[in-house]
Structures are given as C-alpha cells and as structure tokens.
Amino acid sequence: MENIPVAGPWITEKEIAYVTDAVTNAWYSNANMYHQRFEKAFAEYIGVQYAMALPSCTSAIHLSLLALGIGPGDEVIVPDCTWIASAAPISYVNATPVFADIDPKSWCISAKSFEECITPRTKAVIPVDLYGNMPDMDALREIAAKHNIAIIEDAAEAIGSTYKGKKAGSFGVTGVYSFHGSKTLTTGEGGILLTDRKDLYDRISFLRDHGRAPGNATLFYNSEVAYKYKMSSMQAALGLAQLERIDELIAKKRETFKWYYERLGNIDGITMNSEASDVFNSYWMVTIILDPKFGIKKEALQEKLGLQNIATRPFFHPLSSLPAYQNLPQAGHAHERNEVSYALSPYGVNLPSALNLTESQVDFVCQSVKQIIQG
Ligand SMILES: *Cc1c(COP(=O)(O)O)cnc(C)c1O
C-alpha cells in the first residue's frame, strides 16, 4: 500500500535553479543577494515595510518579545491550541504564558477569552492564524489597543490568507512566518519577521547578530550579549523561488480542501475548517473534528488511518494540558476556562494535506474516514 504523507512541499526546477545559483554565486560581495531579494519580495507580498529572514519562526517570536522588552513578571496571552513554538519563546524571556480559549468556528484565539485573560501584567498577545484561518482581528486589535497590549501575529500556517483583504502577518507590531518543510512555502527550515516599525527592525537587526549594530558589523564591537539568528543564502534562494510560485502553491491548497469538502463536507457529525465571509483561508491543513457521538477520539482515528498508511496529525493538544506546562500556576485553571479547546481538541485530526497529494489519494482517505465512522 502506498504511503500518503500528511505534509510536504512542492519543489520545481525553478527552486533547484535558484538554490544552485546561490550555492555557486552567493559568496564574497554577493553573499547577501538572495536575502535582499527574498526579504524585499516578501515584505511587498505581505504589504509591510520591513522583513528579516531568520532560521525559524520560533526565533522570530523570540526576537519580537526581546525587542518589545518583555521579560520576568510580564504575561503574554497565547491561544491554548497551537504548536508549542507559539508559546515557548515566552519562557525563553522568563515571562509567563497565559492560555486563552479558541473560537469554536475559526479555531483561532477567541477575542472574548483574550479579554478575560488580561491582567495589569499583560504585555503582549500572540494570536495564531490556525491551519490557515484568521481570528477576529478587528476585535483583537480593539481590545489590545484599549489595554496597550502589543500584538505579535503568528502567521506561520497562513501564507496567502487574508482578513478583510489584508494579508496574514500584517496585523501586529510584528508578524512572523515559518518556512519549515511542512509549511505551504518552505526553505527547509526557516522563518521571517515582519514589521512596519523602524525602531523594532533596528533593534531586532542588532539582537539577531550578537549585539552588533548593522553598520559596525566589521568592528567586532559587541555592546550587548545577544543572539545569532540568521538564514543561509541557499535557504533565501529557495524561499524566493517558492514565493514567486506562491499563487500556484495556495491554489493547490485550496483545491485540496475542495476535494475533501466535496466528499466529507456534508456528512453529519464532521466539522471541517471554516471560512468566514471576510476571510480568505489558505487551508494549510485540512482538518476534521468528529462529533463525540461517534465515540472516536483523535488517537483512535489516527491509528486506524495509519493502518491504511495514511499519515495524520492530531489537532493541537491544549498547551495547558501538556507536561511541559504543568508547573505554571494557571495551567490548572485553563482546563475549566478553556471549554472550547478541551471540547474540540480530543476529536480533531489533520488529514493529509501535502502539496503532492492527488485527488484519488484524497478519495481513498475520505472513504477510509467514512468506513471508520460508520463502524
Ligand atoms: C510551524 C509553526 C511554528 C514554528 O515554526 P518553526 O519555523 O519551526 O520555528 C510556529 N507557530 C506555528 C503556529 C506553527 O505552525
């Protein structure tokens, strides 16, 4: 039986040509040529002033928190259901993560829960554009502005998504993307940080290069102990080639969702990714949530699909439920507070959404899902 992967990229001759050119020519005085092209093109695509290519999205969140001066005693609100990379950097700076509930439709942070989590210590919120969907950005921005809270938008999963016509990654003081191999646009490993604020961009340029100002990089004169967070030119070349094909990549994601929706969208008891009227969802991961009436939890569904060589992922476990966060004072309380996270997560599974998926593979996956839920 063939293996059906859950995620993976779409690489063409263009990517191979760009990476080959980078490894051949991006040295000496041309060492940064692909970074410059990639960062400029990415900033233009999203519609922001500044973009900085980085080794990961995790490092982009870390730098965002550092540049905002967030540290011990501060609280940062993050949705309970997301990849741990959204939250881990809060601990890197010795601040405290506070887990807010998700919205039952968009599966992104609930504006109401965000507001309820605010305390005098809250310095930032990290909304996540989960699986390509968008949270209620107008409500989040209004609440954040009222309480003077910085927004760091984690758009890692949402390249191409829009909210009221504005691109994911452009809603915060910083926006961050991941180019991990599972993401829609990949550089193997990698990420990017976006901002319109020159002061933050300058501070981040300094922090990511061992505390050297860009102008004095040749002086080896470090004024603070900082970090080394850089992308290689081969990765930047790969990212540029992928970005030049971005419409094609997003169209494939949308088509994949449509194939699934045609087969599973009308089945009673299956909920799929939503798309509100003011949102364009780039559907990074096609996801189903089963009604508890079937009595099938995500692990059981994953195991049964696995027997057919169908790879899946669990809907993110609430972070507040993970061993990693059991020593946080409020982790225990999040269970009662975050009803939606705890109700949906046990029954959610990401179905194969790799960019090389065929319609007949989707057909096979959907037939398998239907057989499993019909017992
Ligand atoms: C993939 C992902 C990240 C982390 O990206 P890295 O590049 O692996 O650091 C962060 N947040 C979300 C929501 C992600 O899906």
Say if ligand 1 is within 6 A of residue 156 CB.
yes
Q: Ligand 1 centre and the CA of 216: distance in Å?
A: 32
- Predicted confidence band of residue 215 (pLDDT cuts 50, 70, 90): confident
Domain positions in the chain are 13-242, 247-374
Pocket test residue of 84, 102, 154 for ligand 1, highest count of atoms within 8 A of CB: 154
| pLDDT, position 50 | 98
Pocket test residue of 86, 152, 179, 319 for ligand 1, highest count of atoms within 8 A of CB: 86
How are strands ordered across the β-sheet holding 75-79?
50-54, 191-195, 174-178, 150-154, 122-125, 75-79, 96-100
| pLDDT, position 331 | 76
User: In this structure, which CATH number among 1.10.3720.10, 3.40.50.720, 3.50.50.60, 3.40.640.10 belongs to the domain 13-242?
Assistant: 3.40.640.10
Is the distance from CB of 151 to CB of 140 less than 8 angstroms? yes
Say if ligand 1 is within 6 A of residue 57 CB.
yes
Active-site residue set: 183
Degrees (nearest 5) of the Cα angle 10, 12, 13? 165
Q: What is the pTM of this model?
A: 0.98
Q: Ligand 1 centre and the CA of 28: distance in Å?
A: 32
Say if ligand 1 is within 6 A of residue 235 CB.
no
**Structure-token pair, residue 275:** 């798309």
Q: What is the pLDDT of residues 87-109, one digit of tens each?
A: 999 999 999 999 999 999 999 99
d(Cα 89, Cα 74) in Å, to the nearest integer? 13
Is the distance from CB of 203 to CB of 67 less than 8 angstroms? yes
- Predicted confidence band of residue 139 (pLDDT cuts 50, 70, 90): very high
Q: What is the pLDDT of residues 107-134, one digit of tens each?
A: 999 999 999 999 999 999 999 999 999 9
d(Cα 353, Cα 358) in Å, to the nearest integer? 10
Provide CATH code, domain 247-374.
3.90.1150.10
**Structure-token pair, residue 155:** 């758009």
d(Cα 282, Cα 254) in Å, to the nearest integer? 6
Q: What is the pLDDT of residues 158-183, one digit of tens each?
A: 999 999 999 999 999 999 999 999 99
Q: What is the pLDDT of residues 229-250, one digit of tens each?
A: 999 999 999 999 999 999 999 9
- Predicted confidence band of residue 329 (pLDDT cuts 50, 70, 90): confident
Q: What is the mean pLDDT of residues 253-280?
A: 98
- Predicted confidence band of residue 332 (pLDDT cuts 50, 70, 90): confident
Say if ligand 1 is within 6 A of residue 176 CB.
no
Element holding 99 (H helix, E strand):
strand 96-100
Say if ligand 1 is within 6 A of residue 191 CB.
yes
Q: Ligand 1 centre and the CA of 347: distance in Å?
A: 22
d(Cα 86, Cα 243) in Å, to the nearest integer? 23
| pLDDT, position 217 | 67
